[in-house]
Structure 1
Amino acid sequence: MIKSWMVIGGVVLVVALAINRLATSDIQWFNRLVRPRWLKIEAAIPIIWTVIFICGAWSAVIVWEQAPGTQDTWLRMGFYLLLEIVTMSYTSVMCKLRSLKIGTIIGGTGAILSVLLAISVLQVSQPAALLLLPYILWSPIGTYTTWAMMHLNPADV
């Protein structure tokens, strides 16, 4: 029998691979941007987001297993999916449009959605809501970093 964690993990992976497609020119644009001097952990960002996505998927599994297949659970799963789509769209949309302002807006949207999702999930499971805390804490940092980069790269706003 297929376990819920396999399905949720599979959906997370498929969505990530489907959305996060970048052309070489997109990557080059992003790599040439000036970063804030205080940004010293850029190499760790992929690891940080991997942990955040694992925590988010684990949270979704907990929520699913509390009341599998109910309308409320399906709505929450849709909310998790929306948050992942917004999150994964950050890099691809920002790079395609070559706009740090768009990246800031998408990042801010993800930050707001993560708080709303955590509030919704808290009604079902405190541990599931706590697993969203890494996203809630990190997303504003990433959004602020993108906003700061707007000022260092005025041609790419």
Structure 2
Amino acid sequence: MNPLYVSGGCAAALLVAGGLATPIGSWYNTLRKPSWQPPGWAFGPAWTIILGLAAWSAAIAWTAAPDAAARTSIIILFAVNAACHFLWSPLFFALRRPDWALGEVVFLWASLVALLIGLWPISPFAALLIVPYFLWVSFAAFLNWTIVRLNAPFA
């Protein structure tokens, strides 16, 4: 099976699951947010592009992997990242705990650092495709921190 179809399907599933776990309602709309927060409509296209690049990265790394052990490492790195990616939305939106999401985003960010480090020896290009994801999550973490600072305490 073509690795791009598999990784693309996984990325699409993550997009759908993340969207379903992100109920935007009156609670979110009443939160104080910084003036520099991107408009709500920008998040869907941003995540679609970012996860598309991650899927491409996974397919390239899989194809470039020299052996089964490297392919296993690639699966583990992307699976951990997917779990960390998915957990953030329910914490922030469904449970209404931006403070817990802020704690979790550290793990998401670390999973991206692990991807960058783990993919580089296999395929520098695959690692570079993760950079926009890393930058966006770094920005999103700062946005999350700002929302916590503007609205805490949460209970």
TM tier relative to shorter chain? 0.7 to 0.9
- Tell me the CA shift for residue 134 of structure 1: 0.3
Correspondences of 1:130-149 after superposition (within 5 Å) = 130-149=128-147
The letter for the 1-side match of 2:146 is: A
Question: Which sections of structure 2, spanning at least 5 residues, go unmatched?
Answer: none
- Tell me the CA shift for residue 19 of structure 1: 5.2
CA 1:42 to 1:127, structure 2 compared with 1: closer, same or farther past 3 Å?
same
Deviation string 1:80-118 (CA, Å, 9 cap, x unpaired) is: 121122112211222232111111122222112101111
Quote the Cα distance in structure 1 between the aligned partners of 2:38 and 2:73. 38
CA 1:85 to 1:62, structure 2 compared with 1: closer, same or farther past 3 Å?
same
Quote the Cα distance in structure 1 between the aligned partners of 2:144 and 2:101. 7
- Tell me the CA shift for residue 32 of structure 1: 2.4
Cα RMSD after superposing both structures: 2.2
Q: Which residue does the alignment assign to 1:3?
A: 2
The letter for the 2-side match of 1:95 is: F
Question: Which sections of structure 1, spanning at least 5 residues, go unmatched?
Answer: none
Q: Is the 8 A contact 2:97 2:154 kept in 1?
A: yes
Q: Is the 8 A contact 1:5 1:58 kept in 2?
A: yes
- Tell me the CA shift for residue 61 of structure 1: 0.2
* Residue 49 of structure 1 pairs with residue 47 of structure 2: yes
Percent of counterpart pairs with the same letter? 25
